[in-house]
Amino acid sequence: GVKMFNPKKDKEVFDLLVEQLSAYLKEEESKPINPNSDAALVFDNIINTYYDGIYSFNYTDLSLLAGTYNKTYNDGSFKYTHVHGSLLERNAILGIQEASKNIKQGYEFLYKVFNDSYKHCNLQQDLHNADDIVIFGHSLGKKRLPFF
């Protein structure tokens, strides 16, 4: 048979997917951090050496990790920008770039920019003006090329 599209029903499923992904990540975020893992040691080095500003493509709270390695950040003063929303603000943004023009009518909710929580940040400008760039916890596949 022919597959019928139902944008309203698919939006409900999409919202449930985002909700369940957020719940799963919140649970993972609450687990103890292995301070000797390679990722933790690199992050420790970043915040104690290069830290000038961080853009996170993850939804988790980096201040929890920062406070583990640098006690001055235990007061919540660790500043960074979530590019795609956060668990803390309950606004994880999942979707596709607006440049994807082959989307069926009614499925515009899949565009990240259609999310009420989506806001532009100065990432591209900061990348252009930076002397040093440290990329941590991010894939550098073809889908991410527009950022770099």
Helix or strand or coil: residue 60?
coil
pLDDT at 98 over 80: no
Report residue 44 CA to chain centroid gap: 19
Q: How far apart are CA 109 and CA 10, in angstroms?
A: 10
Helix/strand/coil percent split, the chain, to 5: 45, 5, 50
Stated pTM of the model:
0.74
**What integer pLDDT is reported at residue 145 of this predicted model?**
57
Kindly report, residue by residue over 33-81, the tens digit of the pLDDT. 888 888 888 888 888 876 677 888 888 888 888 877 777 777 777 888 8
Residue type, 104: K
**Residue pair 63/76 in contact by the 8 Å Cβ criterion:** yes
3-state secondary structure of 7: helix
Nearest residue to 123 via CA among 110, 133, 137, 136: 133
